[in-house]
Structure 1
Amino acid sequence: MSWCVLKPFNVSLVKVGAVRNRIPFAIGGVGCASFVATGFWRHCCSNRITTPPFASLNTYTFPLFDGGQWSMSVLGVAKKESVKTDKAPAALGPYSQAIKSNNLVFVSGVLGLIPETGKFVSQDVEDQTEQVLKNMGEILKASGSHFSLLVKTTIMVADLKDFKKVNDIYAKYFSAPFPARSTYQVAALPLDAKIEIECIAELPQEVEPQP
């Protein structure tokens, strides 16, 4: 179990030294809390300071590793939702096709597999690139996002000499401002693929109608 105690006192004109030795406190989990008890204030400080106390409670969430498993700390957990669609290849292991968290979509590495058969569209890097982007488009659609909302892509190729072929097909799916991008040649890809692409996209924001 991990413990953290931070005690920020956001109190105008309060002598923290006088308060520190008189207020017991305990915080469980990983979090931060600050408070000034009103009763204590009236008892100790009413004759000297007329400014009312200010109390705040700040909570932070971090993953904790305890007893061989991960758990989230108390006082709030970020919303996380798995994305799944039959119109894109199924995950090849213990991972999701994509995860939605807050306002972002994190798409796992996508291969040029035909969803219905699980086989590569061909052994040609151009065909695989086209299929990768089609599959990615279906995952983004299932998440509620789109290519226009992509902010970052990562391309992994088996041979960097194929970069121009990949780039020409990639360019058909995007318009300015283009997402940020990294491209790497790797020693090997799953199923001996020629290319794999992963990405991060935003979710569309709801706009409230103007009166």
Structure 2
Amino acid sequence: MIITTENAPALPAPLSQGVRKGPVLQVSGQLPLDPETGEVVGATVAEQTAQALRNVAAVLEAGGATWADVVMLRVHLTDPAHMAEMNEAYESIVEAPFPARTTVSVRLPPGLLVEIDALAVLDIPQ
């Protein structure tokens, strides 16, 4: 099932905001874009991390999931030196117990400092 929501930005690319198959929900990489304007939110890694995570949360919700269902997050940073600042913003939104996470350094379009995707596994009703 394709997951879409107006509470996360629609990207001009051939991808879905999320895809759910059974109890598995994959959220596509979310950028720090305002869902209403499509503009980048914030100039710092902390601001952009918070917005990207809000976008992830919106797709999770649209797919019937919460942060408690997330088993893996992948964070893509443009500069490894931003790790501490990203971690601080991340920890203020994603609460313990924390999901597994991978963080890699990548090149993103100008002005973008972070992209985050998520994998959630929902409980199947008995």
Q: In which range does the TM-score fall when normalised by the shorter chain?
A: over 0.9
1:78-101 deviation line (CA, Å, top 9, x unaligned):
xxx100000100023010000001
Change (3 A) 1:88 1:182: same
1:97-136 deviation line (CA, Å, top 9, x unaligned):
0000121000110000000000001222111111011111
Distance 2:111 2:96 in 1: 32
Specify the alignment match of 1:111 in structure 2. Answer: 31
Q: Which TM-score applies when normalising by structure 2?
A: 0.93
User: 2:116 aligned with 1:202, yes or no?
Assistant: no
Change (3 A) 1:164 1:118: same
Larger Rg: 1
Q: Match of 1:193, as an amino acid?
A: L
Distance 2:123 2:11 in 1: 25
Specify the alignment match of 2:76 in structure 1. Answer: 156
Give the match's secondary structure for 2:81: helix
Give the match's secondary structure for 2:86: helix
Q: Match of 1:91, as an amino acid?
A: L
Distance 1:86 1:167 in 2: 27
Change (3 A) 1:204 1:86: same
Give the match's secondary structure for 1:151: strand
1:3-60 deviation line (CA, Å, top 9, x unaligned):
xxxxxxxxxxxxxxxxxxxxxxxxxxxxxxxxxxxxxxxxxxxxxxxxxxxxxxxxxx
- Aligned with 1:145 (options 65, 74, 90): 65
Change (3 A) 1:103 1:190: farther
Change (3 A) 1:170 1:127: same
Task: Answer whether contact 1:83 1:100 (CA < 8 A) is retained.
Answer: yes
Between 1 and 2, higher relative CO (CA 8 Å, sep ≥ 6) is seen in 2
Q: Which TM-score applies when normalising by structure 1?
A: 0.57
Specify the alignment match of 1:96 in structure 2. Answer: 16
Q: Percent of aligned pairs with the same residue?
A: 35
Query: Which stretches in structure 1 are left out of the alignment for 5+ residues?
Result: 1-80
User: 2:118 aligned with 1:189, yes or no?
Assistant: no
Specify the alignment match of 1:124 in structure 2. Answer: 44
Specify the alignment match of 1:167 in structure 2. Answer: 87
After TM superposition, give the deviation of residue 191 of structure 1 in Å.
5.2
Distance 1:122 1:168 in 2: 15
Distance 2:47 2:8 in 1: 16
Query: Which stretches in structure 2 are left out of the alignment for 5+ residues?
Result: none
